[in-house]
């Protein structure tokens, strides 16, 4: 069931770039980050009150503070990158998260990395690299501004920091309280940035933009509840690799909804990525 949660989360997140792009017609990246946190917190508090009849937050915890601030870095970087560049920013965000979590799990948390897992991870990263490259080279991602590319890299690092903080507390806390507490710090961090990054209201409200903001807030609630529920049992590296399916799904939506062409790089990269997923997640039976 935990693996299903991660796959469902990847499907949900694969629409993130399109939703951010639509939201960018109305609000700035910084305000969108605050709204994503605010809506997510409201939904989480609503879940708490329906279940327990009260609101419960734990703020006096260093991992809560760290995770909330890292999630703010993720949202601020991702929203800025998508609004100023391309909608498929997850192509960069998720591989960066995978690399950071892989290094942290081995160097700091002393998780054992088997040869099979290492080989499967290498295949996944190679496949994502081919999809990202798509025969065009780094200049494709640098056409807008170097700051756009840097924003996606920071977003990936922020996503990894939040993931690591979640992993540290998920077995000790209720997952609704955990996420609501972290998002509270994330909202506070974005509110600190808001006064220095005006203007925030760009165009009059419109239906696609408003709907996109509301959906992104709901994703903040549901998507990271799924993640928290899954990583209680799934190892860190395996979980982030499965989340990287978002990259492949984003390409698929482009082909399905926008008629984007499939190059040999995308096809080959997807195939290698799927083989890597199989190597990491499917344990061979011992005869």
Residue-wise pLDDT tens digits, 237-266: 778 877 777 777 777 776 776 566 667 877
User: How much of the chain exceeds pLDDT 70, in percent?
Assistant: 85
Tell me what pLDDT residue 169 has. 93
Average pLDDT over residues 269-283: 76
Burial 58-82 (b: 16+ CB within 10 A, else e): beebebbbbbbbbbbbbbbbbbbbb
Question: Is 287 part of any domain?
Answer: no
How far are the Cα atoms of 55, 80, 93, 146, 278 from residue 155, in angstroms, in the given order?
30, 10, 6, 14, 27
> Using an 8 Å Cβ cutoff, are 281 and 7 in contact?
no
Predicted local distance difference test score (pLDDT) of residue 243: 79
What pLDDT is recorded for position 258? 58
* Dihedral-angle region of residue 53 (phi above 0 means left; psi in -120 to 50 means alpha; beta otherwise): left
Distance, CA of 287 to CA of 284 (rounded, Å): 9
The tens digit of pLDDT for each residue in 45-63 reads: 999 999 888 899 999 999 9
State pLDDT tens for residues 174-200: 999 999 999 999 999 999 989 888 788
Q: What's the predicted TM-score (pTM) here?
A: 0.83
For the record, the structure tokens of 159 come out as: 């996503």
Local confidence band at 164 (pLDDT 50, 70, 90 cut-offs): very high
What mean pLDDT do residues 189-215 have?
Answer: 88
Q: Are 174 and 35 in contact (CB under 8 A)?
A: no
Q: How far is residue 163 CA from its own chain's centroid?
A: 9
Is residue 129 situated within a structural domain? yes
- Split into its structural domains, the chain has a count of 1
Number of neighbouring beta carbons within 10 Å of residue 100: 19
What phi, psi does 10 have (nearest 5°)? -60, -40
Percentage of residues of the chain with pLDDT beyond 90: 34
pLDDT of res. 287: 40
Separation CA 154–CA 151 (nearest Å): 5
Domain that holds residue 40: 2-281
The structure tokens listed for 40 are: 């997510």
Question: For 63-100, how does the pLDDT look when each residue is reduced to its tens digit (9 = 90+)?
Answer: 999 999 999 999 999 898 888 766 665 667 877 888 78
Is residue 286 a part of any domain in this protein?
no
Q: Is the pLDDT of residue 286 over 50?
A: no
pLDDT of residue 87: 60
pLDDT tens profile 92-147: 787 788 878 878 877 776 667 777 777 887 887 787 777 766 665 555 555 545 67
């Amino acid at each position: 069931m935990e693996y299903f949660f991660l796959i469902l989360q990847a499907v949900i997140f694969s629409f993130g770039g399109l939703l951010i792009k639509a939201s960018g017609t109305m609000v700035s990246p910084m305000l969108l980050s605050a709204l994503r946190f605010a809506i997510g917190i409201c939904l989480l508090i609503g879940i708490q009150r329906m279940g327990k009849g009260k609101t419960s937050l734990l703020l006096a915890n260093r991992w809560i503070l760290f995770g909330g601030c890292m999630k703010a870095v993720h949202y601020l970087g991702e929203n800025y990158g998508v609004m100023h560049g391309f909608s498929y920013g997850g192509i960069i965000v998720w591989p960066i998260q995978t690399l950071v979590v892989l290094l942290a799990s081995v160097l700091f948390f002393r998780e054992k990395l088997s040869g099979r897992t290492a080989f499967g991870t290498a295949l996944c990263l190679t496949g994502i690299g081919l999809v990202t490259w798509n025969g065009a080279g780094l200049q494709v991602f640098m056409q807008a501004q170097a700051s756009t590319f840097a924003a996606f890299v920071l977003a990936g690092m922020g996503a990894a920091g939040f993931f690591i903080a979640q992993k540290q507390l998920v077995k000790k806390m209720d997952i609704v309280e955990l996420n609501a507490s972290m998002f509270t710090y994330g909202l506070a961090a974005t509110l600190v940035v808001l006064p220095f990054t005006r203007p925030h209201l760009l165009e009059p409200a419109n239906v696609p933009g408003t709907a996109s903001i509301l959906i992104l807030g709901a994703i903040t609630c549901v998507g990271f509840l799924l993640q928290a529920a899954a990583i209680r049992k799934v190892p860190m590296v395996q979980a982030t690799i499965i989340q990287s399916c978002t990259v492949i799904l984003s390409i698929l939506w482009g082909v399905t909804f926008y008629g984007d062409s499939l190059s040999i790089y995308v096809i080959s990269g997807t195939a290698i990525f799927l083989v890597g997923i199989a190597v990491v997640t499917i344990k061979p039976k011992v005869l």
